[in-house]
Amino acid sequence: MSPDNFSALLLGWAEENKRQLPWKETNDPYKIWISEIILQQTRVIQGTPYYLNFIKRFPDIITLANAAEDDVLKLWEGLGYYSRARNIHHTAKFIYSNFNGKFPDRYDEIIKLKGIGPYTAAAISSFAYGLRYPVVDGNVTRLISRILGIVQPIDNVDVLKRIHTFVFSAIHGADPAAFNQAIMDFGATVCTPKLPQCDICPFHSYCLAYHHDQIKDIPFKNKKPLKKIRYFHYFDILLPDDHTVLVQRSGNDIWKKLFQYPMIESDSELMPSDEIIYQCIRKIFTHSIDNSYMVKKKLVSKQELTHRKIVAVFYQITLTLPTKKINKGHYLVERKKVSNFAFPKIITEYLKIKDF
């Protein structure tokens, strides 16, 4: 199938199958950027309300740049991949400082922004400025690899280069924004990973994977390594004055800057020894707590991330003596105000079953 023929059939399909989405009705680079970042690793049905809430709370780059990072993370809560939110905030401040709050209008400037790769840069460039850069993501590589009948691993450099070359040729004579929107929509709604709608696909006469009965086998990826399992033991401190203790994650580990209960990580789901639990609790307070607490195991929860699996074990630690003397790095919080903080999903799910 030639790239020109592909482009003509794709745009013809798009004329009859336009999706009505809030970010499709604008050429504002800020709103396009936010929508594209939210939709990374997120389905449209889940991402749409987050997009609407985000734009309502931060309607422009200047508002976002001047916001507190904790406010941005809280609004992002539940979407996961929190580095996206931190990158958005960082980039907004960078644009505010270096471009007077105006989103750059050149591809080579856009792609240098933190958190923006070739796909997002192409989307912003084409939708906001009409620049001829094709979007190539998982949906697009799946579609093209099936049409071309590519049986080599899709993460092979030469295979990706072949797909990029085809798409670059296909967009050459088309309206960039219309082409990119069409190929994104088609991959998301017709040429899906499972149960693609081959019977209504305008490309099925040309699709080699369809004709060779290889739809289920293409695209093919090299086998991924097994996910590492990490075991987190969280301590939900119950203080007599209706307070609890939170800490903020730091470093370059997962969930950076999000809040959590004091915790320890171990190599199994088994409950840590009494001595380990005591030492963890002791680090929280500025004074001796002796044996003035009780430990009760409450819940085991699991969460799948891209490269690892988290097994979280929650414990309620009830202190029998009131105290407000805690060490630096810990936050004494009224239990009724805990929901104001941004947490990883695994803790948010725990909070849903709690009575605060």
The residues that are catalytic are 36
Question: Two tokens at 72?
Answer: 């941005």
- Rounded (to 5) percent helix, strand, coil in the chain: 45, 15, 40
Query: How many Å apart are CA 287 and CA 303, to the nearest integer?
Result: 35
The identity of residue 54, as a single letter, is: F
Query: In sequence order, what are the beta bridge partners of 235?
Result: 315
The residues, ordered by sequence, that sit 6+ positions from 7 with a Cβ below 8 Å of its Cβ are: 170, 171, 173, 174, 179
Nearest to 48 by CA among 79, 74, 18: 79
Q: What is the largest CA-CA distance in the chain?
A: 77
Task: State the virtual CA torsion across 266, 272, 275, 279 in degrees, nearest 10.
Answer: 50
The identity of residue 233, as a single letter, is: H
Q: Could you give the C-alpha distances from 249 to 10, 82, 167, 327, in angstroms and in order?
A: 46, 12, 42, 16
Strand 308-319 with 330-334, pairing:
unpaired
Containing 349, the helix (H) or strand (E) segment is helix 345-352
Query: How many Å apart are CA 43 and CA 45, to the nearest integer?
Result: 6
Q: How many CA atoms lie within 13 A of 198 on its CB side?
A: 18
Question: Two tokens at 151?
Answer: 């049986």
Query: How many Å apart are CA 235 and CA 260, to the nearest integer?
Result: 9
Q: Among all chains, which residue has been given the structure tokens 């104001």?
A: 340
Do 170 and 179 touch, CB atoms closer than 8 A? yes
Q: Among all chains, which residue has been given the structure tokens 């009724």?
A: 336
Question: Two tokens at 220?
Answer: 């093919």
